[in-house]
Amino acid sequence: MLKRVHFGPSVLPFLLVAPQIIITLVFFIWPTSHALYQSLLIEDAFGLSTEFVWFENFEVLFEDEHYLGAFERTTIFSLLVASSSMGFSLVLAAMADRVIKGSMAYRTFLIWPYAVAPVVAGALWVFMLDPTLGILTYGLGAMGYEWNHKLNGGEAMGLVVVAAAWKQVAYNFLFFLAAMQSIPKSLIEAAAIDGAGPVRRFCTIIFPLISPTTFFLLVVNVVYAFFDTFGIIHAVTQGGPAKSTEILVYKVYNDGFVGLDLGGSAAQSVILMIIVIGLTVIQFKYIEKKVEY
């Protein structure tokens, strides 16, 4: 007979999980529940009186053309960021996958931008493209193009897209490269013997085989563009000119902390929360479907 081992009651397991639970409670559950509650309130700008209004804040939001405009802008912005950063890093990864000499150096340099904080990345691009001081502005001027993202909404959008995508290229590159290197080499060789050139091999063998990674990155990039680009926008355009770069997450900040419409701002953040939950569900559901080689 095997002796059954009994563990006496101990506080140690509770102590060990306590930090994680406390962090979750303080930084996630508490603010979330507060936002949920606040989205049902209307508060005056001085915080002297509040009124419980059920879903009136949401009703107002969906009739507000500025809010719907921000929705549309965010969609365009995140699609542009996701497609440009993924497309660019896919090309880089495909090239780095073929390199043999100095591949470590390439990889290290390509991974660096990921370590840069969003605000710093934004500041970097602001300096380079400042309408009066920027070196790239100067270069564009020499080619006869007058760059001024402080006046031109399209240019401002272009600038935040470039800054946001640039930062994400490193992350995407890492995942694409890892996916490409996990494809057995003999598959590529078999395709070469079958007569497929490098471009054909990429399109018919490599790209289909890395599609689970591509899908994962698409979700991650959309989430990034939706939420993590606040710092970049704040540093580069503050949502301007004329709200042309005001995406949803920036509008939450602008309406709440600048406009002091706390109820409306909370309602917006609840909607964002629902979007991120939806995206996460999609990601988990499809990412489980593994591809066998």
Answer for which of 5, 195, 199, 288 binds other proteins (CB under 8 A) is: 195
- Classify 50 as helix, strand or coil: strand
Tokens found for residue 184: 């057995």
Query: Judged by CB under 8 A, which stretch of 81-89, 181-189, 237-245, 254-262 contacts other proteins?
Result: 181-189
Q: How many residues lie near other proteins (CB under 8 A)?
A: 20
**How far apart, in whole angstroms, are the C-alpha atoms of residue 148 and residue 132?**
9
Residue 168, phi then psi, degrees to nearest 5: -85, -15
CA gap 227, 237 in Å, rounded: 16
Q: How far is the CB of 293 from other proteins (least distance, A)?
A: 5
Would you count residue 203 as binding other proteins (CB under 8 A)? no
216/227 with CB nearer other proteins: 216
Does residue 187 touch other proteins according to CB under 8 A?
yes
In angstroms, the CA 34 to CA 22 distance is 16
Which residues sit opposite 52 in a β-bridge? 41
Q: Does 208 bind other proteins (CB under 8 A)?
A: yes
200 is a contact residue toward other proteins (CB under 8 A): yes
Q: How far apart are CA 169 and CA 224, in angstroms?
A: 12
Q: Does 102 bind other proteins (CB under 8 A)?
A: no
Q: Could you identify the residue written with the tokens 């500041």? A: 123
* Residue 72 interacting with other proteins (CB under 8 A): no
Contact between 90 and other proteins by CB under 8 A: the answer reads: no
Residue 44 within binding range of other proteins, rule CB under 8 A? no
Assess whether the previous peptide bond of 198 is cis (omega < 30° from 0): no
Shortest distance (Å) from residue 142 CB to other proteins = 45
- Report if residue 292 touches other proteins, rule: CB under 8 A: yes
- CA atoms of 36 and 268, how far apart (whole Å): 10
205 binds other proteins (CB under 8 A): yes
Q: Which residues bind other proteins (CB under 8 A)?
A: 184, 186-187, 189-197, 200, 204-205, 208-209, 291-293
